[in-house]
Structure 1
Amino acid sequence: MAVQGASSCPQNGSTRKSPASPRRPRRARGWRRVLAAAVAVVALPAFAGPALALPTHPLHRTPEGGFEELMVPSSMGPIKVQVQWARHGGDAALYLLDGLRARDDFNAWTVDTNALQQFAEDNVTLVLPVGGQSSFYTDWRAPSSTNGQKLTYRWETFLTQELPAFLEGYGVSRTNNAVAGLSMGGSAALALAAYHRDQFKHASSFSGYLNISAPGMREAIRIAMLDAGRFNVDSMAWPWSPAWLRMDPFVFAPQLRNLPLYISAAWGVPGAHDNPNSAVGIFNTVNAVALEALSMVNTISFMARMNQLGIGAHYGLQVKGTHSWAYWQDQLAAARPDILAALGVS
Structure 2
Amino acid sequence: MRNTAVAVAAALTFATFGGVAAAEPGTASSVSSVAKDGRTWNLQVYSAAMNKDITVQVQRPVDESKPAPNMYLLSGLDAGEGTASWQQQTDALTFLSDKQVNVVLPIGGRGSYYADWQQEDPALGVNKWQTFLTQELPPLLDETLGSTGLNSLAGLSTSGTAVLQMAEAKPGLFKSVAAYSGCAQIADPLGRQFVKLSVETWAGGNTVNMYGPDNDPAWAANDPVINAEKLRGTNLYISSGSGVPQPEDVRYYTEGKGPQGVVNLGLGIVIEGATNYCSHNLQSKLDSLGIPATYQFPPVGTHYWPYWEQALHDSWPVLAKGMGI
Q: TM-score, normalised by structure 1?
A: 0.77
Structure 1: which amino acid aligns with 2:177? A
- Identity score, percent: 32
Does structure 1 residue 70 correspond to structure 2 residue 43?
Answer: yes
Aligned partner of 1:88 in structure 2 is 63
Q: Aligned with 1:220: secondary structure?
A: helix
Partner of 1:285: 265
Alpha carbon RMSD of aligned pairs, Å? Answer: 2.0
Which residue in 1 is equivalent to 2:284? 304
Q: Which residue number in structure 1 is paired with residue 90 of structure 2?
A: 113
CA distance in 1, matches of 2:282, 2:93: 30
Aligned length: 283
Q: Which runs of 4+ in 1 moved over 4 A?
A: none
Equivalent residue, structure 1, for 2:240: 265
Amino acid aligned to 2:69: A
Question: Is the partner of 2:227 in helix, strand or coil?
Answer: helix
Q: Look up the equivalent residue of 1:128 and give its one-letter code.
A: L
Displacement, 1:263? 0.1
How far residue 79 of structure 1 moved from its aligned partner, in angstroms, is 0.7
Rg: which structure is higher?
1
Residue pair 1:212, 1:218 contacting (<8 A) in 2 also: yes
Structure 2: distance between partners of 1:128 and 1:255: 25
Distance 1:78 1:88, change over 3 A: same
Specify the SS of the correspondent of 1:123: coil
Q: How does 1:1-346 map to 2 (within 5 A)?
A: 61-63=36-38, 66-75=39-48, 76=50, 77-89=52-64, 90-104=67-81, 108-145=85-122, 147=123, 149=124, 151-173=125-147, 175-238=149-212, 239-271=214-246, 273-274=248-249, 275=251, 276-277=254-255, 278-279=257-258, 280-345=260-325
Contact 1:263 / 1:314 at 8 angstroms: preserved in 2?
yes
Alpha-carbon distance between aligned partners in 1 of 2:151 and 2:296, rounded to the nearest angstrom: 22
Cα separation, 2, equivalents of 1:73 and 1:324: 32
Give the Å deviation of 1:134: 1.5
Shift of 1:286: 1.2
Query: Closer, same or farther in 2 for the Cα pair 1:162/1:273, shift >3 Å?
Result: farther
Provide the C-alpha distance between the structure 1 equivalents of 2:223 and 2:40, rounded to a whole number of angstroms: 34
Q: CA deviation at 1:160?
A: 1.4
Tell me how far 1:260 sits from its aligned partner.
0.6
Write out per-residue CA displacement over residues 124-183 of structure 1, whole angstroms, 9 at most, x where no aligned residue: 0110111111111111000124x3x4x420101111122123212323447300000001
Q: Distance in 2 between matches of 1:158 and 1:195?
A: 12
* 1:264 CA displacement: 0.2
Unpaired runs of 5+ in structure 1?
1-57
| Aligned residue in 2 for 1:54 | none
What amino acid sits opposite 1:94 in the alignment?
Answer: M
**Structure 1: which amino acid aligns with 2:239?**
S
Letter in 2 for 1:139: D
Distance 1:312 1:212, change over 3 A: same
Shift of 1:116: 0.2
